[in-house]
Structure 1
Amino acid sequence: MPLERPELPDSARAVFRALAVDGPASRPALSEALGISKVTMSAAIGELESLGLVRSQGMTRGATGRSAVLYTLAPGAGHVLGVEVGATRVRVAAHSLDGLRISTRTEALASHHRQVTTDATAVAIALVETVRAEVGEDYGPLRGVVIAAPTLPKAGPAGRQLLDGVQLLTTELPVPPEVPMSVENNVNCAAVAEHRIGVARDYGTFAYLQIGVKIGVGLIIDGALLRGTHGAAGEVAMVPFPWAPGVRPRRAGLEEYLGSDALMERCAAAWPTGGTPVPKDAVALFDAAAGGDAHARRVVDEHARDIGALVVSVLAVFDPGLIVLGGGVGQNQLVLPEVRRTVQALAWDTEVTAGALGDHATLLGAVHTAIGRALDAIA
């Protein structure tokens, strides 16, 4: 059976959402922010307290010197799970509805894969079991689960297609059947996180560009995620590449070229013989460049110019006020200077910066997507 929606007046729902989104507040502050009278506010707080949804949390002193009780969500209000199934690891996190972390677990995969494997699915199931045991009964009902994973555009207008491993995960994940569960594209999740709690908090419209093993863009317009008719908005891997006279583009050729595997192939081909060993992976390449190795820096700068060309493509179609770079390669600070120079040379002034959440962006995006849906169901 579905989770019950509490019987609450609109005023109490507004207070609950405000405490979840904006954090602890006093009755006077909530009354002013929500335009609710003191009498109605007292009734709303009383109802929420009686249902175990909010509780008092210390005192605050205002500008006049008067003290007031602070209120916050109670642990019993419930929690959500975010599950990230990536190319190299699986992560699971439980957060309360006001975004506070309760428990998190991570396990590295034996090898990296572009698709979700049965091994990764088994790891995710085990981690969810562990996290749910750690959460126990102290944080109210589980109100939602969002899985962040690679997905594919569907041929018809029905959203993204789940890969086999993700489809298995949605049926085998150890959560009660009444708990809402959904799958979101991993890049879209990272965009949501940067918008909610990261570097794009003050932007209504921006683009999140992931560059790592794979590439992708998450697009936020007027505060909402753009998915597109086929769930394919932001699939920049499909931009025709190479595109030149007499050259036929390859399907997903741009991702093959900009992905970290191809980067390391170009690095090995350009590396001089008789000197330092060729870096074994992208992490080692960027470490060498940061350490002053001239050969490594040339490879990194050239790759950054290629990333900059992709950024210009996004600007030409989307024209956001901000481009946020993420992913294992994109978030590295060494990439920014050449990306910015390329944008300045080929397009117009647009802020380009690295994400604030690093490699936690995808998991946090899954968590905050689940929180948003849980709040919609309650308030």
Structure 2
Amino acid sequence: MSATPRIARAINNRLALDFLWRQGPLTAAQLRELTGLSRATISDLLARLEEDGRIEVRGASDAVQPGPNARLYQLRPGYAHVIGLDARTDSVSIGAADLAGGRVPDTRLAVEADLGGFVERVVRAVREISQRSFAQEPNTIAVGAPGVVEPATGALRSTGWPPEWHARLVAALKAGFGATVLIENEVNLAAVAEHRLGAARDRRTFALLWIGYGVGAGLILDGRLRRGESGGAGEIGFLAVPAPVFARQQRPPGLHGLVGAVPILDLARRHGLDVPGGASVPAAVSVVERAARDGLPLLDELADLVADGVLALCLVLDPGCVVLGGEVGRAGGAALAARVGTAIARRSPFPAEVRVGELAADAVLAGAVATALDHAREQLF
């Protein structure tokens, strides 16, 4: 059965808008060549999209003689925008972008003692950013937070230690805006960012091993983020911890970690390094950076521990590539990645390239913005 004129127009609109998003400004002739549509269809399509406010003329092409055919069309930045949030335990970072991907400066808010007031402050900040930069409400808001997001309901479920105000923040955003509000595990969003913008741009299948205060993984298989039946795919922090490194009686309540900040600092003390007490991510980063810089034996033992997590991913998923991310994972740089790769080659029948994540502190936020843009484009294109 052939498509109705209305459906055909919608298909053609989406086809043209997708090319303008992926390739940037194009002339009518270039769109005809890319889409295979007739001159008359492209002419009507461009006029319709321009009248709707979804595209605009951006100068003229130097490769075409002056005139209507030389006009360069692009997505209109002000047509719609999205918001991304990275909700950590101690802060919330906010990013915004228009449909063409143009970003405005990010905002970071430190958590306050009055959590109810802090949630309201975040909502106000989102509204102020939207009004100041785009003069309208966002189309989509995506929030990255620790915990498990149930695929069937989109509800954020704690795995033991994320603060309850994260769920309150999502509820406040839904109540305060007409936008679609998405919630996603923060490591999953970091994996999306490394896939789109970072160390795994050339891969359709890879795993991100995130090492920060705790440890987790994000899985991109055949170009798609995989969450599992209950949203728990990649939660390798629940694997057993080697007893010599992290005695169970030292485990902070609710913390599960294969090789997060606490066991790394404990490992450093056993190697005679002077490190502060407690579970500090900056302290663990400092230890790993020093070990990588000075070639300390600690780095080899740490690589074996990291390889436990990588090996689990390799034997179950065979991703072919594992990216080390998170503040601690990236701190070891190429030296740690090379040692982990060597340890895996000794222990796994499946080859796996180990890379260092390219995105620093903004990996989760970049993934949140990218996810929000995907949803908005799917809705509007």
Q: TM-score range by the shorter chain?
A: 0.7 to 0.9
Alpha-carbon distance between aligned partners in 1 of 2:317 and 2:116, rounded to the nearest angstrom? 37
Give 1:235 shift. 1.1
Corresponding residue number in structure 1 for 2:275:
278
TM-score, length basis structure 1: 0.82
Kept in 1, the 8 Å contact 2:81–2:98? The answer is yes
Give 1:173 shift. 2.7
Corresponding residue number in structure 1 for 2:268:
267
Cα 1:107–1:330 change in 2 (3 A) is: same
Paired residue secondary structure (2:101): coil
Kept in 2, the 8 Å contact 1:76–1:141? The answer is no
Alpha-carbon distance between aligned partners in 2 of 1:240 and 1:253, rounded to the nearest angstrom? 14
Give 1:362 shift. 0.6
Q: How do residues 1-379 of structure 1 correspond to structure 2 at under 5 angstroms?
A: 9-62=10-63, 68-109=70-111, 121=119, 124-137=122-135, 141-152=137-148, 158=153, 161-163=156-158, 164-173=164-173, 176-242=176-242, 255-271=256-272, 277-278=274-275, 281-292=283-294, 297-332=296-331, 333=333, 334-347=335-348, 348-379=350-381
Give 1:243 shift. 9.2
What does the per-residue CA deviation read over 1:324-360, in whole Å, with 9 as the maximum and x for residues that have no partner?
1110111231421211111221123222211222221
Cα 1:343–1:173 change in 2 (3 A) is: same
Cα 1:121–1:268 change in 2 (3 A) is: farther
TM-score, length basis structure 2: 0.82
Kept in 2, the 8 Å contact 1:83–1:124? The answer is no
Partner amino acid, structure 2, of 1:143: N
Give 1:59 shift. 3.1
Give 1:306 shift. 1.0
Partner amino acid, structure 2, of 1:228: G
Alpha-carbon distance between aligned partners in 2 of 1:302 and 1:123, rounded to the nearest angstrom? 44
Paired residue secondary structure (1:331): helix
Give 1:160 shift. 5.4
**Which stretches in structure 1 are left out of the alignment for 5+ residues?**
1-5, 112-116
Cα 1:65–1:310 change in 2 (3 A) is: farther
What does the per-residue CA deviation read over 1:107-139, in whole Å, with 9 as the maximum and x for residues that have no partner?
34479xxxxx668645633532442343241xx
Cα 1:289–1:31 change in 2 (3 A) is: same
Give 1:148 shift. 0.4
Alpha-carbon distance between aligned partners in 2 of 1:53 and 1:355, rounded to the nearest angstrom? 35
Alpha-carbon distance between aligned partners in 2 of 1:124 and 1:319, rounded to the nearest angstrom? 40
Alpha-carbon RMSD across the aligned residues, in angstroms, is 3.5
**Which stretches in structure 2 are left out of the alignment for 5+ residues?**
1-6, 159-163, 277-281
Partner amino acid, structure 2, of 1:100: G
Kept in 2, the 8 Å contact 1:103–1:134? The answer is no
Alpha-carbon distance between aligned partners in 2 of 1:374 and 1:7, rounded to the nearest angstrom? 21
Paired residue secondary structure (1:217): strand
Give 1:33 shift. 2.4
Cα 1:176–1:121 change in 2 (3 A) is: closer
Corresponding residue number in structure 2 for 1:114:
none
Q: Percent identity?
A: 30
Alpha-carbon distance between aligned partners in 2 of 1:63 and 1:325, rounded to the nearest angstrom? 47
Alpha-carbon distance between aligned partners in 2 of 1:14 and 1:233, rounded to the nearest angstrom? 33
Cα 1:325–1:30 change in 2 (3 A) is: farther
Moved more, 282-291 or 49-58: 282-291
What does the per-residue CA deviation read over 1:58-78, in whole Å, with 9 as the maximum and x for residues that have no partner?
333449999833222112320
